[in-house]
């Protein structure tokens, strides 16, 4: 097998046309010129808002998780808290807002541990993952109109077992937990 280090060049966008422009997702088709000169006139890109995820620890050292129904996959999913960033909202502000809305908890510390692209081949958004510690219940939940979720607390060992047993279906949340748990060990 040849390991030749080639310079990877970006594609040149020639034109874009929006096919769908909605609040939660936008689909555009780009015409692009590849480095070898080939023109591809049908490269589809999904534009989503950026997201935030939290590995949120209570004052007692328990990890907050949420359980909710996810229609596209038709599953009840155990997840880390988080959500969509609103407009030009800063990621750290967004995760604190999401945690307060979904769980009613406020936190003493907040640290960015990962910045991931959910699927950079077809989507342009970023997911910011934070570890928050010292969580204390300060408010009631304030959920979005169609949001129904349960807040659950687990030990770090229980969460590690959920990962090993493939009990967390959302890939970005598993990645968030790996980054978050690694940061907690430092």
pTM beyond 0.85, yes or no = yes
Instruction: Give me the helix-helix angle, 156-164 and 171-185, nearest 10°.
Output: 140
pLDDT above 70: residue 60: yes
Q: How does residue 3 score in pLDDT terms, banded at 50, 70 and 90?
A: low
According to DSSP, the residues that pair with 53 across neighbouring strands are 82, 129
pLDDT above 80: residue 10: yes
pLDDT above 90: residue 25: no
What the chain holds in terms of domains, given with CATH numbers, is: 12-47 (no CATH), 51-185 (3.90.79.10)
Q: How does residue 5 score in pLDDT terms, banded at 50, 70 and 90?
A: confident
If we measure between CA atoms, which residue out of 144, 146, 105 comes closest to residue 96? 105
Tell me the pLDDT tens digit for each residue of 94-114: 999 999 999 999 999 999 999
Query: What pLDDT score was predicted for residue 1?
Result: 54
Distance CA(72)–CA(87), nearest Å, equals 24
Tell me the pLDDT tens digit for each residue of 130-184: 999 999 999 999 988 888 999 999 999 999 999 999 999 999 999 999 999 999 9
Query: What pLDDT score was predicted for residue 184?
Result: 93
């Amino acid at each position: 097998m040849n390991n030749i280090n080639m310079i990877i060049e970006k594609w040149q966008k020639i034109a874009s046309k929006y096919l769908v422009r909605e609040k939660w997702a936008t689909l555009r088709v780009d015409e692009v010129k590849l480095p070898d000169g080939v023109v591809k006139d049908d490269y589809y890109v999904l534009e989503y808002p950026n997201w935030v995820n939290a590995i949120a620890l209570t004052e007692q050292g328990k990890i907050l998780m949420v359980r909710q129904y996810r229609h596209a996959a038709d599953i009840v999913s155990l997840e880390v808290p988080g959500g969509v960033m609103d407009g030009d909202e800063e990621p750290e502000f967004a995760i604190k807002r999401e945690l307060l809305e979904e769980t009613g908890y406020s936190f003493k510390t907040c640290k960015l541990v990962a910045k991931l692209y959910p699927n950079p081949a077809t989507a342009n958004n970023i997911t910011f993952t934070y570890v928050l510690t010292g969580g204390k219940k300060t408010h009631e939940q304030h959920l979005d109109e169609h949001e129904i979720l349960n807040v659950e607390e687990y030990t770090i060992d229980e969460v590690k077992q959920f990962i090993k047993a493939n009990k967390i279906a959302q890939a970005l949340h598993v990645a968030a937990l790996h980054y978050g748990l690694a940061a907690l060990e430092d």
